[in-house]
Amino acid sequence: MTDVRVMHPVGGPMIGVPEVPGSKSQTNRALLCAALAEGTSRLSGVLSADDTQAMLEAVVSLGAEIEADREDTSLEVKGIGGDLRFEDLVIDCRSSGTTSRFLLPVLVAGKGNVTIDGSDQLRSRPFDEQIKALRALGCSLSETRGLGELPIEVVADGVNGAKVEISGSTSSQFVSGLMLAAPLYVGGLTIELTDATVSRPYLDLTVKVMNDFGVAVQQPNESTYVVQQGRYRSADIKIEPDASAASYFFAAAAITQGKVKVDGLHRESCQGDTQFVDVLEKLGAKITWGKNSVEVQGDHLNGGTFDLRDFSDTAQTLASVAAFAESEIEIKGIGFIRSKETDRIAAIVSELTKCGVEVAETSDGVIIKPDKWKLKGASVETYDDHRVAMAMSLLGLRVPHIEIRNPGCVAKTFPDFFSVLEKLRPRAIPLTEAVAVAAIDGPAGSGKSTVAQALAVELNLPHFDTGAMYRAVAVAALRRQVDVTDSAAIAELAEAVDIKINERTVVDGIDATDEIRSAEASHLVSVVAANPDVRRILVPRQRQWATELGGGVMEGRDIGTEVFPDAIFKVFLTADLQVRAQRRFQETTDQTLDEVLQDLQRRDHVDSTREDSPLEVAPGAVIFDTSNMSVEAVVSELADMFRLRVEG
């Protein structure tokens, strides 16, 4: 049976300093260089995960000696000095692309027979560009399963380097592997790139790590790398936190209006994926760079077009952020990620669509057209891809019932991801520190009134139907025959009308509990509520109403955005339009179902497009689709979320 992790919305801003593990890319490069070097190297801050374990076991099989301090995340590596000899060796690279693509060019420089293999997932990934380049250098390679795929048998007898051409349009790892192996080749190696290389910052990282271990890489021009024959020297290296892993926590801050800081990353970081925070800044987040840290503070998320060619590992992270944006986001330059652990573009389209997000695939990316009203829970397939699992889990920070299938696949690069994410969950707020308002917003027919009343009972808190205030003004207008389109007259009426709302709603001394729910009042209330002067008059009353009683469950269409923007707990209830229409139809006797449906469509348009306080999802609000749930189930979940936010 497939393991499933159910994500639970946090109900507030995520805040903290997560412990981000070491960079996988830097760890595996440093491990290989240390293993090939003369002497003993010390690596601190290393990542302990499946991918790095694959590299560690591989270099040990080549003769390197390693002492690990798991608690201190450090390694001592006694290198082999470039002396590569093996006999009928089989190296299992698991699912690690870096391990396999870095090792293959190294192995051909040795002496003996060796087979390089990996998981079914790694076997399905392309190696043809690297194989072609190595064969051009005279290396003996045989694919035993399929052309351009693992497993690959190598009959190694050293390499005369000279010059080689290679494409980097599929993966920069092919080029990095050749660079890392080049000092072992007789005469060194000149590498000519035949086209534009994807993820180019990873080549810069390779150059940096090689320099750290005493090997110089010359770049006479953008498409040429020259490495002289030589030896790696031992070194002491501090591994940076993984910028790709950090992107999920930066995204969590952006999605929940929180504040997250990662120590160890900085403007001059050797990792290209730090550029992700620049994208978040363009979307509206506030970014603060420290000497050795970066902090992201969430705000309203705008749209835009972003080329992630150089940091594509964050593409799925951005796609999840885009689901909560205010306008369209295009991610381009990432067509090559179709050949990663899975077809990541297809995964983005499939899994976000399940969650109610409109996604269109392009030749080199995706276009995401967010509509937060349509977000809903779903069972998310991860395709055994760690980045799918981590990115899609971010939706569950604000959307209930997001299930991550096979969550254990995160062990490839970040075994503790879910526990580290959970530590950022906002702390419970003592009642002495804030007015305990639960703000329940949503369109007509989403179940606001029913759910809010039941939630108030469950939590033993007062219930405030702010919509009833606007309905009361609409009823007063009907009684007095005031034209609701006369803005000044309606505002004057709102100022004068006497409204009392408890168990019953009383307008000017006359019970209007049933009258405010009539078709006539429902037809007029959107116009009344859209009047800025009416809102100016009623909103202070609503705030005073709740504050005097120390909080409560307050429902309406702008509670989390305007009336109580600092509410402890914000929810936007939504439901499929047909479901909402059916609910309203069951409550009325003077409209057909089609008439109710048309009226809801009209009201949705009016409420969401009005200039003053439009109906929208409050920043950080839990987006709860009630379409297929009972009132009791919805209330139970909301009550649990509220209790996690409030202490005492």
CB of 330 within 8 A of CB of 367?
yes
Strands of 119-248 (E only): list them. Answer: 140-143, 152-157, 163-166, 189-193, 217-221, 224-227, 236-238
Closest CA to 89 of 18, 152, 26, 173: 152
Distance (Å, whole) CA 333 – CA 311:
10
Distance (Å, whole) CA 607 – CA 100:
56
Helix, strand, or coil here: 606?
A: helix
**Tokens found for residue 331:** 């991610």
Q: What is the chain's Cα-based Rg?
A: 30
Strands of 256-370 (E only): list them. Answer: 259-263, 286-290, 293-297, 304-307, 329-332, 358-362, 365-369
Distance (Å, whole) CA 25 – CA 239:
10
Helix, strand, or coil here: 613?
A: coil
CB of 59 within 8 A of CB of 31?
yes
AA identity, residue 564: F
Strands of 9-79 (E only): list them. Answer: 15-16, 40-44, 65-69, 74-78
Strands of 12-157 (E only): list them. Answer: 15-16, 40-44, 65-69, 74-78, 85-92, 111-117, 140-143, 152-157
Distance (Å, whole) CA 84 – CA 32:
13
263 carries an active-site annotation: no
Residues 6+ apart with CB under 8 A from 131: 104, 141, 143, 148, 152
Distance (Å, whole) CA 339 – CA 172:
12
**Tokens found for residue 206:** 């390779």
**Out of 92, 242, 273, 313, which one is annotated catalytic?**
313
- The burial of 240, by beta-carbon neighbours within 10 Å (0-12 exposed, 13-18 middle, 19 or more buried), is given as buried
**Cα 456 → chain centroid:** 33
CB of 53 within 8 A of CB of 254?
no
Distance (Å, whole) CA 207 – CA 596:
66
419 phi-psi bin (left φ>0, alpha ψ -120 to 50, beta other): alpha
Closest CA to 321 of 335, 331, 311: 331
Crossing angle of the two packed helices 172-181 and 24-36, in degrees rounded to 10: 20
- Helices H / strands E in the chain, number of each: 21, 33
The residues assigned a catalytic role are 313
